[in-house]
Chain A
Amino acid sequence: MNTAVVIFPGSNRERDLCLALKRATGRDPLCVWHRDSELPSVDLIVLPGGFAYGDYLRCGAMAAHSPIMREVKARAERGTPVLGICNGFQVLTEAGLLPGALLTNRTLNFICRDVHLRVETNQTIFTCGYAAGQTIRVPVAHHDGNYTADEATLDELEDRGLVAFRYCNAAGEIDDDANVNGSAHAIAGIFNRGRTVLGLMPHPEDATDPLMGCGTDGSALFAGLVGALQ
């Protein structure tokens, strides 16, 4: 399985991501620079976390208009799976590949810690390595992860089963204290309508190596992708 990682000036999570992808696929991902306007044929495109273009104007706003994103959008429209993690999720919303937007955390703090997530569905290429309703533990590290969208969009996400992950407590219950950043409906990640694009704020790639001390609950996301796409 061939994967590509898009790197913007200010991306900083691409190394962990590349290691996680290599661990799952057995191959080094292709790293693509933001100024490139062409992508070889790949099975999965991933946008890493970080602070693309210094998060100037709005998180992800400048990156969403970079040359490579025109190609990423065209590929996504033709069905190539796209995964955006943290800043990558922000870029996907700004690029219009996912609905809604990510506001400043309600506490105004940069939050860097492990959180629990409830896997809302396993009927997707991204989450097929989990059980539906499973609670997993992965880290978050963000300042602007407070998901928001208008009521009609939130209703659509719920009605079509497009919520991928929600913040929950260790017992898997959705409660306000577990909602680290104040996201609407405790949303931590969403799919597009075709479930071929996933954006999420937490970092599954940082929970794939026991050495990191964050557990390995993120591994099933990458292993599931390999199983589904290979």
Chain B
Amino acid sequence: MKARIHVKLKPGVLDPQGKAIGNALRSLGFTGIDEVRQGKLIELDLADTDPQSARARVEAMCRTLLANPVIEDYAIELG
């Protein structure tokens, strides 16, 4: 089973990299971009077969190491 974890800065937390990417896109002539937020994607190959227990394990991994709850949100996708 694969788990995809999307980690991104919480709304309201300054994301200077997202801002720089937005500015670069605008300077390239792309229009209609309001805000850009940059995050990261972590893919795990898991031995689990039960999605429920896999999700609980990945949640624990996110809380312990993969995301910093002070500044980041995460979303888990299993498949």
Q: Which residues of A come within 8 Å of B, CB atoms?
A: 57-58, 61-62, 65, 93-94, 99-101, 103-108, 146, 148-150, 182
Contacts and interface: CB of A to CB of B under 8 A. Distances in A.
Chain A at the B interface: SS class = loop
Nearest to B71: A101
B14 A103 contact: yes
A105 B15 CA distance: 10
Interface of B: 9, 13-14, 16-17, 20, 64-66, 68, 70-71
26 contacts: A57-B65, A57-B66, A61-B65, A62-B65, A65-B64, A65-B65, A94-B68, A99-B70, A100-B70, A101-B68, A101-B70, A101-B71, A103-B13, A103-B14, A103-B16, A103-B71, A104-B16, A104-B17, A105-B16, A106-B14, A107-B16, A108-B16, A108-B17, A108-B20, A148-B14, A149-B70
Residue from B9, B13, B70, B71 with most neighbouring chain A CB atoms (10 Å): B70
A182 B14 CA distance: 10
A148 B13 contact: yes
